[in-house]
Amino acid sequence: MDIQEIKDQLKVCFSCGTCSGSCPIFRVNPEKNPRRFIQAVLNSSSSDISVLENFEPLWLCTTCYACEDRCPQGINITTMLVKLKNIAARHGYVPESVKAELETIIANGTTSPPGKSILMRRKKLNLPDLPQPDLPAIQKLIHLTLND
């Protein structure tokens, strides 16, 4: 999906602000304002991704989907914000913590590689050894999807 397709989805927005009123982050950080993101995208030219350059606050979305479920115009707001972040990521605008999360999966297949103390704790709790993921398969799929 490109910016123009996202704009087509957003254009029925009449700025009622239900999305911002529903946003848990907007309550505590006014920079994270879904209605403002929508208006910024609608006001940008369709080929211009500069709208994403200052979109650090966009990554503060927790994908709670409250805005999407409540939008009176039926706009899939959270889904569109995810698609915007996908475009931003392809242009390198991605927070370090998200990059690090992906790197951890590439290295381990999970986001929580087991440490010694946790393995000891599992033993104390009589928990079984767990089958480990097929790391080469996971790495291959990540490579294929990020580089096609």
Partner 1 sequence: MSESNGRYALFLGCTIPYKLPQLEAATRFVMEKLGLEFVDLPFGCCPDPNGIHSYSEDTWYTLATRNLALAEEQGLDIITLCNGCYETLHYVNQKLKNDAKKLARINSLLTKVNQEYKASISVIHLHEFLHEKIGYDKLSQMIVNPLSNFRISVHYGCHALRPQSIGQPENAEAPQWLWDFVENVIQAEPIHYVDETLCCGAGIREMDQSASFDITKHKIVQMETAGANAITVPCPTCFLQYDGSQKLILREESVGTQITGTPTFYFTELLAIAMGADPKAIGISYHLMKPEPGLLKSSESTSVETSPNEIITVTTGSNPNS
Three-class SS state of 18: helix
Contacting residue, 49, 78, 80, 93, with partner 1 by CB under 8 A: 78
Residue 5 as a binder of partner 1 (CB under 8 A): the answer is: no
Give the containing element (helix H, strand E) for 122.
Answer: helix 116-124
111 belongs to the binding site for partner 1 (CB under 8 A): yes
43 in contact with partner 1 (CB under 8 A): no
Q: Which of 47, 143, 49, 36 is nearest to 88 (CA)?
A: 49
91 makes contact with partner 1 (CB under 8 A) = no
Q: Does 18 bind partner 1 (CB under 8 A)?
A: no
Spell out the residues 6+ positions from residue 133 whose beta carbon is closer than 8 angstroms to its own. 109, 110
Instruction: List Cβ neighbours of 120 (8 Å cut-off, separation of 6 or more).
Output: none
Chain residues binding partner 1 by CB under 8 A are 24-25, 27-29, 32, 59-66, 68-69, 76, 78-79, 82-83, 85-86, 89, 94-95, 97-99, 101-102, 105, 109-115, 118, 121-122, 124-128, 130-134, 136-138, 140-142, 144-146, 148
